[in-house]
Amino acid sequence: MAHTARILACDVIAVPPTDSVLAACRLMRDKRVGCVLVTEGGRIVGVFTERDLLTRVVPSELPPADTPVSAVMSKEVQSVGADEPVERVFELLSARRFRHVPIVEGGRPIGMVSLSDFAGILREVFAEEAYLRYFVDYCEARPQSR
């Protein structure tokens, strides 16, 4: 069973709680990610996502340059330990309908796994499975030499 640390696809991208929504959005754009962790003292205190922008900032017409990310971030962050099985990440992504799960070690974030990272992993697994099926079919179809 693979551990979560093996599938980390990106480094920690984080902002302090005092950063503006605008600063967080610019960082997300520059890094081409859908969320940033909000950290204080190296610990996760929240996460700010595209969904938070669309459901909390835009409808309330909050000024992005003047609104601290702490005012609109998701505060209940579910994370997974680096030594936990990959299946634990999948459980959070599917059951809780998350798109991103922070990976932690010693209580501190070391990376993030996204739904698209999992899609890539599944593509690899299915490709490997297809190759193995082809190989087995080939071996079974060959006349046995004695």
Lowest mean pLDDT among 61-70, 71-80, 137-146: 137-146
Domain 4-114 falls under CATH 3.10.580.10:
yes
Task: State the pTM of this model.
Answer: 0.77
Write down the domain spans for the chain: 4-114
Where are the strands (E) in 50-142, listed by range? 80-81, 100-105, 108-114
Residue 69 pLDDT: 98
12-57 pLDDT per residue, tens: 899 999 999 999 999 999 999 999 999 999 999 999 999 999 999 9
- What are the backbone dihedrals phi and psi of residue 101, each rounded to the nearest 5 degrees, phi first? -135, 120
- Average pLDDT, rounded, for the chain: 85
Question: 100: pLDDT confidence band, cut at 50, 70 and 90?
Answer: confident
The residues, any chain, with a CB within 8 Å of residue 105's CB and separated by 6 or more, are 5, 81, 82, 83
Q: At what angle do helices 115-141 and 86-95 cross, to 10 degrees?
A: 120
Closest listed residue to residue 98, CA positions, set 122, 72, 80, 120:
80
Res 145 pLDDT > 70: no
Which pLDDT belongs to residue 2?
Answer: 63
Q: Give residue 50's pLDDT.
A: 95
